[in-house]
Structure 1
């Protein structure tokens, strides 16, 4: 005996092999389809127990995700949350996708996951979700029927302990209806009935309890709120005020919907049929022929009533012309493992769908995928566009792989070229990315191995030899990381092959080591630096004796005056001085030596001089700490971040590349500092004319500043604190300083020491700044300022609280 899974046929639950069925009628029982008759309680208990086991496993899978591109596919490498239901908020900003034991809230405007709500129990049920018509609340079924506040994300009340397969708000938002199975569906001795109830949203009181026979899988209000339509094998039209059925159509119907004018109803069921009905008397008008699914799990009307869509257990979503009844578009991509649920966006231009482990957005006019959203069971997430650009949580890009021309790569390997939250936002807001490079065309990275390198050594440096094999995409930048922090970045181009094997090179680098165990990580990029290799990991034990405590070196830069007088700032030097003085006081008790170098005059803050001072820091040792603080202007142009130095006159792209310090140069300068503990603080202001220029650049050319900072942080293995995002003005004039630096200094003085340990660690400082800056910005300036915090590499104490 083997049960695969349960499905619904009319009022009966059938396993996929059609050997057993659960009759939901006056006498609920488990029926043997081969032998005939109802089973004994003993036999029923055995099968029910096995079904419980299956239900606990079924929704923890990692299906392959595919896109309509012969050269590229995506595959999940970590346990992801399977989803089968989806809803869109009335304003089109928020999406709820749900599975059997949880539901996920996404913010389409920001292009990120907000929260996963877990509702696991001994037996999981499909979690129904719905937004209220005013967009202020959402409701969920699963482990009890709950109402939530969308603004705070907090639960308001629990209405009922039942499980909800479907939830729908009344048009005026005052009530909602839900339906679901008996609370003890798999209890072989139960006589409980399926549930369909209406509740008052304000009071939580039950208004109506409908009497049902079959398990209701979907329920919707009519646009005027006078009627309710349910799909429970049969399709029934109900009078809302009386709770009485008006008409029932027999069949195998699971999904139902009303048109926006209330004239029509739509149904889909286990027979694979999609049908249009007269909503007044439930007489069939037409059948949409051609769906390849054996079971229709979702149906919906477009807002203008011209189209309908259906989703089935084959994973395909079809859009049909209502008038002609012909197929118009096929949205193909879901695997169909759990069926596909789909809805039109309120503007009718897009479709949102859920199936397998992905929630996807589609362009109705083209039928093409816009973006795919995946939530993983450990809380990580990723959103990818069809051509490979993505936004993710810190580890989300490690959990998804792409297959390009037959080879597998993790999305993380594409981070420095394709981690573009700004482009994800652009795609989600209707912008086109078709003119940009596509991940399917990226050439393979080289293969890196650490060879001919000792495992142990009795001195403070070692020769690290890399064998780099060209896999067809050439060889670009090479990096070495020591204990998580970049200590060598080699951007040499045109390296000649020096071995008989014409696709290999050997590179040897002299690396300073820490006493004890040293973890070395090496990577190399393809020739155009669009994809990095997998890591080559090596460990060396250095047995030399360290002398004294480590030292702290800081380069503090404040620029008020520029060649272009329109760029002048008022608080940069004052901010730099405040930070330098606060850092010295807090760090002096921790380190053998604290050396803070201030650069503030026009002569000291030119591109040439700042680069010279950063290169001088390459004499540091691995156990030393390096801190860089910059108060100046920053901008993003032509896809690259630029630090504006005092010699900058014109902010045109071609001049910035020669006069300012670009992201690639900045990355190499920081990455070649041997200190394994680095903290970078960028308080760059985007005020005035430069701020306006940045907004234009953001809309036409480049990445956002916060994206640039996050990429830089990961690249150099350092924690970076940045004052504001590209489209925010860094607020100045609080206590004679910029708000960001004022909060930073207060944190260093001890307010960031939340654990009262007597020390301020870099991670605590980052948390304090991240929390306090937005609060003070709103309280004092009545404006928004959200710092960019990117934590990478080692956390370390930076000051002692006096």
Structure 2
């Protein structure tokens, strides 16, 4: 029997939404019409198109009505410790969930996270991913955050470690504990150097001077200067209140942040304190000094920036701790909600918020642009009183790869420079509903689905229907009609679909002219007959590997080996899962644009229950806003820029190269169209592509990432891609593979079968395991930064059998 769970589906809360909005909306439209007409001289008003006036009023009012707020699910909790290395490249934060996370501010990516329990003290070695983490047990753990490995562990403190500071050269670590002791450690060999005790209370603050030969400590109101080489300390005149933080200036002046919010200093070689001056309106917890001598205090009264004279330069109303960030006038402030807020201290304006959840992270700027990890973005949503929009609904206009780094280092590199601010109100996406034409089907076979979208002021730019996760193409469209009902534009699209045995999940989405997607309308139609799960699928693998290009300058080392590794896996590890395995390999000179396109065409006859894996290894480039995979014939007769050329020649060559990419390459939108024609509903696209070397600007790869993610989103497939511009650096000889494919093959043979293990490796497990493991191995093996792109749409399904699973 057929089980049509919903004949006509509206987004949840829609009826209530329309009733709430209707009176307010109508009143607002009328008011705007009156204001608009009053502003027009009577003579002109007679000749104006009143329909245009009304439409403009409706659109303006719609924007005012659609002002969603950002909501974060499953926050990691307040930030208890924060540090930025002296090169201002690496940022670490310890959250209440017991995890310490690190970001590379040059790439804008998270490079590691480790479980450490309660943490109150952090110190990062300059220019490295090595962090000293002071724990609640008294241990100090030295972690390589890039690999996740513990380098060594220092034990000695009894109770919580409250302070940690590294000498300027990174060779000595000083730690202070709740037990009243200060301990010095040799970072190169782990040997304890000294224990400085006799303090009457917890050690709240430590600071090295610029030479690294003197260590300052703060315990209560007492400040001591310790010679690191040994000997008695210099005891300074007591501070006016309890010391909460210490910092040395370049001229060795020592400054303390006091519990009453004041700041107090001691000049070099003089134990007499200087007169205190106003600082923070509250109790401070951190103190930092800028290159020009400005002081940054943060605590329960927010944060303030003080000039050398003590004049308050800026006030930030939120925050509990803060550090100077790279970039002019940039400050990072942690608040009680667990956010790291990026502020422009000159304008006293919040630029962005770095949001930390238990599963991941995301950054959202003031306009609504976003970036982050896959799980972290899933924890973010934009909400109104009646609707919930996942972050993916805004990805086409607002997704900005590398956003954190761009805001700090290169605002001009934004791919989306002119987007409207979401929180101020934007044109709302349409309302969508689904229905079935005719009687509910009872057996597998043809069916008709009607999708209706109602304009709410943002227009209707497109409608997409997904069947079991995969987007249907234009060939499934039977009819499209545009009508007007009660003054609102309505678009109705009828789709012909092939219903399969078992569940047929349908999801319809409509986008406004600003490309923001609607809340989806969803339903599941269950028809009789054997389900797909009862019938083994076939595995079809298109495997492309190109080392040899027409231009020898483009030669690669491991693309073919990587591709062969995937075919070997399919032959050895996947047999028991599939009814048959069909391999379609193309290597080197056989991998022409025509041959690749022909292979896609052969997949059109695959069955809905089959699984298709497409693997592309070779060069990839971005041109005209789209990503292109470059076939073997690319580059013939082309010259490439080098550092000895003048700017005019380089610009000309780059123009020629970009044109050649468009002419010879296989575009992302072409791949999307080809995927849409494939009969199988379960598709994984794996891309291991490096930059050809034509352009290696800092954020050049970001356009690739966005283009590929949009391909996955619009086609409804799973995507895993390595397209970093320094890909050459992570082809590691000892692995006989690129790092990306090496990790992916490990995942497929069982490493990705995460608890609770079921003996299978699914598509989603493959994606997330590879994305998690590649950065650490790339850094460990080649000191290179590589962050795979993942995008998961459609249903999950098994890809391989774990070789290490025991029943």
Corresponding residue to 2:156 among 145, 151, 159: 159
Q: Deviations over 1:291-339 (max 9, x none)?
A: 5x3333333322342x112224243x2222213x32223345x3x4xxx
Counterpart for residue 123 of structure 2: 130
Distance in 2 (alpha carbons) for counterparts of 1:634 and 1:685: 6
Report the CA distance shift for 1:584/1:281 in structure 2 as closer, same or farther (over 3 A). Answer: closer
Distance in 2 (alpha carbons) for counterparts of 1:742 and 1:92: 32
**Structure ranking higher in helix proportion:** 2
- Contact 1:141–1:167, Cα closer than 8 Å, also in 2: no
Report the CA distance shift for 1:653/1:404 in structure 2 as closer, same or farther (over 3 A). Answer: farther
5 Å-filtered alignment, 1:135-154, equals 136-150=130-144, 153-154=149-150
Counterpart for residue 251 of structure 1: 241
Counterpart for residue 636 of structure 1: 622
Q: Deviations over 1:133-184 (max 9, x none)?
A: 686541414342413133654152233231233333456743514143xxxx
Report the CA distance shift for 1:168/1:574 in structure 2 as closer, same or farther (over 3 A). Answer: closer
Secondary structure of the equivalent of 1:511?
strand
Distance in 2 (alpha carbons) for counterparts of 1:197 and 1:753: 43
Q: Deviations over 1:634-661 (max 9, x none)?
A: 2112432113357867865466556543
- Contact 2:549–2:633, Cα closer than 8 Å, also in 1: yes
Report the CA distance shift for 1:726/1:490 in structure 2 as closer, same or farther (over 3 A). Answer: farther
Secondary structure of the equivalent of 1:262?
coil
- When structure 1 is superposed on structure 2, of 654-663 and 764-773 the one drifting more is 764-773
Shift of 1:82: 0.8
Shift of 1:348: 8.1
Secondary structure of the equivalent of 1:165?
strand
Shift of 1:429: 3.7
Counterpart for residue 520 of structure 2: 535
- Contact 1:422–1:704, Cα closer than 8 Å, also in 2: no
Shift of 1:614: 3.5
- Contact 2:164–2:176, Cα closer than 8 Å, also in 1: yes
Counterpart for residue 379 of structure 1: 359
Q: Does 1:220 align with 2:231?
A: no
Q: Does 1:522 align with 2:508?
A: yes
Distance in 1 (alpha carbons) for counterparts of 2:74 and 2:598: 45
Counterpart for residue 419 of structure 1: 399
Shift of 1:777: 9.1
Counterpart for residue 681 of structure 1: 686
Shift of 1:623: 0.8
Q: Deviations over 1:181-225 (max 9, x none)?
A: xxxxxxxxxxxxx63433444434761223326x65434345565
Shift of 1:396: 0.8
5 Å-filtered alignment, 1:128-527, equals 128-131=121-124, 136-150=130-144, 153-154=149-150, 155-169=152-166, 173-180=171-178, 195-201=180-186, 202-204=190-192, 207-212=195-200, 217-223=204-210, 225-226=213-214, 228-230=216-218, 232=220, 234=221, 236-237=223-224, 241-242=231-232, 245-251=235-241, 254-270=244-260, 272-276=261-265, 278=267, 280-285=270-275, 287-288=277-278, 293-305=281-293, 307-315=294-302, 317-323=303-309, 325-331=310-316, 334=318, 336=319, 340-345=320-325, 350-356=330-336, 357-362=338-343, 369=350, 371-376=352-357, 378-402=358-382, 409-433=389-413, 436-438=417-419, 440=421, 443-452=427-436, 457-488=442-473, 497-501=482-486, 502-527=488-513
Secondary structure of the equivalent of 2:694?
helix
Counterpart for residue 796 of structure 2: 794
Distance in 2 (alpha carbons) for counterparts of 1:88 and 1:762: 37
Which segments of 5 or more consecutive residues in structure 1 lack a partner in the other structure? 1-69, 181-193
Shift of 1:418: 3.4
- Contact 2:546–2:559, Cα closer than 8 Å, also in 1: yes
TM-score (norm 1): 0.71
Counterpart for residue 79 of structure 2: 83
Which segments of 5 or more consecutive residues in structure 2 lack a partner in the other structure? 1-65, 639-655
- Contact 1:75–1:402, Cα closer than 8 Å, also in 2: yes
Secondary structure of the equivalent of 2:524?
strand
Distance in 1 (alpha carbons) for counterparts of 2:553 and 2:226: 69
- Contact 1:299–1:310, Cα closer than 8 Å, also in 2: yes
Counterpart for residue 652 of structure 2: none
Distance in 1 (alpha carbons) for counterparts of 2:709 and 2:428: 24
- Contact 2:483–2:491, Cα closer than 8 Å, also in 1: yes
Shift of 1:488: 4.8
Report the CA distance shift for 1:613/1:118 in structure 2 as closer, same or farther (over 3 A). Answer: closer
TM-score (norm 2): 0.71
Report the CA distance shift for 1:574/1:440 in structure 2 as closer, same or farther (over 3 A). Answer: same
Report the CA distance shift for 1:267/1:784 in structure 2 as closer, same or farther (over 3 A). Answer: closer
Distance in 1 (alpha carbons) for counterparts of 2:356 and 2:101: 10
- Contact 1:709–1:790, Cα closer than 8 Å, also in 2: no
Corresponding residue to 1:551 among 538, 546, 556: 538
Q: Deviations over 1:576-615 (max 9, x none)?
A: 78866875787676544555556689999446x7557646
Secondary structure of the equivalent of 1:413?
helix
Counterpart for residue 24 of structure 1: none
Distance in 2 (alpha carbons) for counterparts of 1:588 and 1:103: 40
Determine which structure has greater relative contact order: mean sequence separation of CA pairs < 8 Å that are 6+ residues apart, divided by chain length.
Answer: 2
Q: Deviations over 1:403-434 (max 9, x none)?
A: 79999744332234433333443334445357
Secondary structure of the equivalent of 2:78?
coil
Distance in 1 (alpha carbons) for counterparts of 2:288 and 2:240: 21
Report the CA distance shift for 1:718/1:369 in structure 2 as closer, same or farther (over 3 A). Answer: same
Report the CA distance shift for 1:503/1:619 in structure 2 as closer, same or farther (over 3 A). Answer: farther
Report the CA distance shift for 1:634/1:443 in structure 2 as closer, same or farther (over 3 A). Answer: farther
Shift of 1:369: 4.8
Distance in 2 (alpha carbons) for counterparts of 1:80 and 1:711: 29
Root-mean-square deviation (Å) = 4.9
Shift of 1:381: 1.4
Q: Does 1:113 align with 2:110?
A: yes
Distance in 2 (alpha carbons) for counterparts of 1:381 and 1:174: 32
Distance in 2 (alpha carbons) for counterparts of 1:216 and 1:668: 64
Shift of 1:758: 9.6
Distance in 1 (alpha carbons) for counterparts of 2:733 and 2:216: 58
5 Å-filtered alignment, 1:651-666, equals 652-653=657-658, 656-657=661-662, 660-666=665-671
- Contact 1:144–1:158, Cα closer than 8 Å, also in 2: yes
Counterpart for residue 626 of structure 1: 612
Distance in 1 (alpha carbons) for counterparts of 2:97 and 2:557: 54
